[in-house]
Structure 1
Amino acid sequence: MAAASLLLAVPASAAEPAPGAPGVGDPYYPDYGNGGYDVSHYDLRLTYQPKTDRLSGTATLLATAKQDLSRFNLDFALDVAEVRVNGEKARFTASGAHELEITPAKPLAKGERATVVVRYAGVPSTVKVNGFTSWHRTEDGGVAANEPEAAWWWFPSNDHPTDKASYDVSVAVPDGTQAISNGTLQSQRSKAGWTRWNWRSRAPQATYLATLAVGKFDITKDTTDSGLPVINAYSKNLGEHEGAARASVERTAEITDWLEGYFGKYPFDALGGYVPGTDTTYALETQTRPFYSPDDFADGSNTSVVVHEMAHQWYGDSVSVKGWKDIWINEGFARYAQWLWSEDQGEGTAQELADYAYASRPAGDAFWKVKPGDPGPDNQFHSAVYDRGAMALQALRKKVGDKDFFAILKGWPAEHEGGNATVGDFVSYAEKISGEPLARLFDTWLYQPSKPAAGPGAAKGALTAQGTPKQPRSWKKIHTADHPHHR
Structure 2
Amino acid sequence: MPPRLGAFVHRRIMAPGALAAASLMLAIPASAASHSPGAPGIGDPYYPAYGNGGYDVSHYDLRLKYQPATDTLEGTAALLARTTQDLSRFNLDFLLDVGEVRVNGAKASFATSGEHELEITPKTPLAKGTDVTVVVRYSGVPSSKQAYGFTSWHRTPDGGVGANEPEAAWWWFPSNDHPLDKATYDVSVQVPDGTQAISNGTLQSTSSRAGWTRFNWRSNKPQATYLATLAVGKFDITTGTTESGIPVLNAYSKDLGDNAGAARASIERTGEVADWLAEYYGPYPYNALGGYVPNTTTGYALETQTRPFYSPRQFANGSNVSVVVHELAHQWYGDLVSVAGWKDIWINEGFARYAQWLWSEHEGEGTAQEIADHVYASRPADDPFWAVKPGDPGPENQFHIAVYDRGALTLQALRNEIGDDAFFAILKGWPQKFAHGNATVADFQKYAEEVSGQSLGTLFDTWLFQPSKPTAPAARAASIAKVAVAPAQPKSWKKIAATNNVHEQEHEH
The match for 2:278 is 260
The 2-side partners of 1:333 and 1:224 are apart by 23
**Structure 1 spans left out of the alignment, 5+ residues:** none
SS of 1:445's equivalent in the other structure is helix
Residue 126 (1) aligns with residue 144 (2): yes
1:457 counterpart = 2:475: no
Structure 1 stretch displaced more, 447-456 or 408-417: 447-456
Task: Give, in whole Å, the separation in 1 of the partners of 2:325 and 2:31.
Answer: 52
Is the 8 Å Cα contact of residues 166 and 202 (structure 1) preserved in structure 2?
yes
Change in Cα spacing, 1:386 to 1:84, as seen in structure 2 (3 Å) is same
Matched, 1:352 2:367: no
Determine the structure 1 residue equivalent to 2:16: none
What is the CA–CA distance in structure 1 between the aligned matches of 2:209 and 2:73, rounded to whole Å?
19
Amino acid at match of 2:369: Q
SS of 1:330's equivalent in the other structure is: helix
**Structure 2 counterpart SS, 1:114:** strand
Structure-2 residue corresponding to 1:83: 101
**For residues 391 and 186 of structure 1, what CA distance do their matches in structure 2 show?**
42
Q: Report how far residue 59 of structure 1 moved.
A: 0.3
Map of 1:148-297 to 2, 5 A cutoff?
148-297=166-315
1:477 correspondence with 2:495 = yes
Tell me the alpha carbon deviations over residues 375-398 of structure 1, each in whole angstroms, 9 at most, x when there is no partner: 000000000000000000000000
Query: Match for 1:274: what amino acid?
Result: Y
CA distance in structure 1 between the partners assigned to 2:393 and 2:149 by the alignment: 23
Q: How far has the Cα of 1:271 moved from its partner?
A: 0.4
Secondary structure at the counterpart of residue 405 of structure 2:
helix
* Equivalent in the alignment of 1:371: 389
TM-score (ref. length: structure 2):
0.92
Which of 1 and 2 has greater Rg?
2
Q: CA deviation at 1:15?
A: 4.0
Residue from 337, 359, 362 that aligns with 2:380: 362
1:313 aligns with 2:331: yes
- One of 1, 18, 23 as aligned partner of 2:41: 23
Secondary structure class of the residue paired with 1:24? coil
Distance 2:91 2:504 in 1: 26
Output the amino acid matched with 1:406: F
Partner of 1:446: 464
Rounded Cα–Cα distance in structure 1 between residues aligned with 2:271 and 2:253: 20
Deviation at 1:479, TM superposition (A): 1.1
- Distance in 2, matches of 1:121 and 1:179, equals 17
User: For residues 258 and 185 of structure 1, what CA distance do their matches in structure 2 show?
Assistant: 25
Q: Which residue of 2 aligns with 1:330?
A: 348
Deviation at 1:224? Answer: 1.8
CA distance in 1, matches of 2:480, 2:206: 56
Shift of 1:460: 7.1
Shift of 1:275: 0.4
CA-to-aligned-CA distance 1:145-203 (integer Å, 9 cap, x gap) = 00000000000000000000000000000000000000000001111100000000010
Q: Deviations over 1:203-247 (max 9, x none)?
A: 000000000000000000111223221000000010000000000
1:94 counterpart residue number: 112
Identity of aligned residues (%): 73
Q: Equivalent residues in 2 for 1:128-143 (5 A)? A: 128-143=146-161
Instruction: Confirm or deny: 8 A CA contact 1:283 1:485 kept in the other structure.
Output: no
Confirm or deny that 1:59 pairs with 2:77.
yes
Instruction: Give the secondary-structure state (helix, strand or coil) at the position aligned to 2:462.
Output: helix
Q: Report how many aligned residue pairs link the two structures.
A: 478
Which stretch of the first structure deviates more once superposed, 76-85 or 15-24?
Answer: 15-24
Structure 2 SS opposite 1:63: strand
SS in 2 for 1:346: coil
Deviations 1:389-420 (A, max 9, x none): 00000000000000000000000000000000
Q: Deviations over 1:326-364 (max 9, x none)?
A: 000000000000000000000000000000000000000
- The question of whether the paired residues in 1 share the 8 Å contact of 2:343 and 2:395 is answered with yes
SS in 1 for 2:336: coil
Contact residue 272 and residue 289 of structure 1 kept, 8 A: yes
In 1, the alpha carbon distance for the partners of 2:287 and 2:311 equals 24
- Residues 351 and 460, structure 1, Cα contact 8 Å, conserved in 2: no
Give the SS at the match of 1:169.
strand
Match of 1:28, as an amino acid? Answer: Y
Per-residue CA shift, 1:411-433, capped at 9, x if unaligned?
A: 00000000000000000000000
Aligned-residue CA RMSD (Å): 1.6
Deviation track 1:443-479 (CA, whole Å, cap 9, x = no partner) reads 0000000000133424378x8xxx3211001111101
| AA aligned opposite 2:137 | R
Distance in 1 between the 2:183 and 2:42 partners? 16
TM-score, reference length from structure 1:
0.96
- Structure 1: distance between partners of 2:310 and 2:479: 33
- Could you tell me which amino acid in structure 2 is paired with residue 60 of structure 1? A
Secondary structure of residue in 1 paired with 2:174: coil
Deviation (angstroms), 1:301: 0.5
- Could you give the per-residue CA deviations for residues 11-30 of structure 1, whole angstroms, max 9, x where no partner exists? 98774300100001100000
Contact 1:352 1:460 survives alignment (8 Å): no
Match of 1:34 among 52, 55, 79: 52
Aligned to 2:424: 406
8 Å contact from structure 1 (residues 460, 469) kept in 2: no
Say which SS state the counterpart of residue 469 (structure 1) adopts.
coil
Letter of the 2:228 counterpart: A
| Residue segments in structure 2 that go unaligned for 5+ positions in a row | 1-8, 10-21
Whether contact under 8 Å (2:413, 2:480) holds in the other structure is no
